[in-house]
Chain A
Amino acid sequence: MITPILYAVLAGLLVGLSRQLNGRSALSGSPLIASFWNHLIGFVALTALGLAIGGLLPAGAADAPRHAYIGGPIGGGLLSPPAAGSFHASVRSIPRSWSSAGRWFRAWCSTSPAAPPRPSGPARWAWCLFWSAWR
């Protein structure tokens, strides 16, 4: 179990590293151009690795469902560097928003007579979270 956990942590460290490198690359061009180079260089490196050690086209690969191939376009087109960077910045800010949400729940969400109409259930929690971040 410890090996997969270490792999996952290492993957996280590499995500951070990739974000910095791709972000720097994007500064000199555009996010999409950086994404293009990022994916192309990765593809070439992996092809070279596969040619060297084997496993380029494993036996069961043809059985993979077609939707599984959407992961690449998600990374290449939709999650180009600036989006990933803002994601990271936002992730780091989420704890603050949660604490703000707690304060807001007490101070406004549940008690203020001036509160506008609100949704109920889980949507209300989500709405309160966003509103607390706005304040």
Chain B
Amino acid sequence: MPISTPRQLNPLHLLIAFGTGGLLTLMVFFNGELGHYGNPLFASRAAHGTGTVAAILFLALLYRRRPAVDPQPKPPAPFWAYLGGISGALTVMLTSTTVNSPLALSGTLAPGLAGQVVFSLAADRWGLFGLPKRRLELRDLAAVLLIPAGSALIILVGMGGRP
């Protein structure tokens, strides 16, 4: 049954969101730079290779802090849960292409945000991947309309200001 979840905004979460957004932008920029010097495949492969090494290093750093006994054993993940690496690889290839196109960085992020919102609304609406179904509200429709409008502004104004 669809549920309507209350939204309580914590300022700390908002701060984290801004910080994370900045890091994401930096990541897209760096990956785009790799794509500029090499190609999208090289950019994505380099990002995933170095990301794997970074994850191993972080895991090694946190190894000593793990609990001796897991208080709540977790069920194994289904096979499909590991396919995020494939979609992530495609994502980096696509963004490395678009950052080096006339869209540039901001023009890449804005339509990407629209795509994320559309996917999240679909996931909420139909309860994809085990998410609870959520009734969509008028506010969600506003987001769907406003984000593409904002994206169009960013792209068109950016194009207009380009030498």
- The answer to whether A and B assemble together is yes
Query: Contact between A41 and B83 (Cβ–Cβ < 8 Å)?
Result: yes
Q: Judge whether B69 is part of the interface by a CB distance below 8 angstroms.
A: no
Question: Closest Cβ of chain B: how far from A105's Cβ, in Å?
Answer: 16
Mark B79-98 against chain A: 1 for CB-CB distance below 8 A, else 0.
01111111111111011011
Query: Contact between A87 and B117 (Cβ–Cβ < 8 Å)?
Result: no
Query: Contact between A29 and B87 (Cβ–Cβ < 8 Å)?
Result: no
Query: Contact between A130 and B14 (Cβ–Cβ < 8 Å)?
Result: yes
Instruction: Specify the main secondary structure of chain B where it touches its partner.
Output: helix
How many angstroms from the CA of A47 to the CA of B110 in the assembled complex?
29
Q: Judge whether B17 is part of the interface by a CB distance below 8 angstroms.
A: yes
Query: Contact between A49 and B48 (Cβ–Cβ < 8 Å)?
Result: no
Q: How large is the interface on A (under 10, 10 to 19, 20 to 34, 35 or more residues)?
A: 35 or more
Quick one: which of A1, A12, A32, A39 contacts B48, CB cutoff 8 A? A39
How many angstroms from the CA of A48 to the CA of B110 in the assembled complex?
31
Query: Contact between B26 and A20 (Cβ–Cβ < 8 Å)?
Result: no
How many angstroms from the CA of A55 to the CA of B43 in the assembled complex?
11
Q: Judge whether A117 is part of the interface by a CB distance below 8 angstroms.
A: no
Quick one: which of B13, B39, B74, B112 contacts A90, CB cutoff 8 A? B13
**B residues less than 8 Å from A18 (CB atoms):** 84, 87-88, 91
Give the residue name and chain of the B residue nearest to A74 (CB): B27
Interchain Cβ contacts under 8 Å between A and B, 21 examples? A4-B97, A8-B94, A8-B103, A11-B112, A12-B112, A14-B90, A25-B84, A28-B75, A28-B81, A29-B77, A37-B82, A39-B85, A42-B51, A42-B92, A46-B41, A50-B42, A55-B42, A61-B38, A67-B30, A72-B52, A74-B30
Chain B interface residues toward A at CB < 8 A:
7, 9-11, 13-17, 20-21, 23-24, 26-31, 33-34, 36-39, 41-42, 44-59, 62, 74-78, 80-92, 94-95, 97-98, 101-103, 107-120, 123, 128-131, 139, 142-143, 146, 155
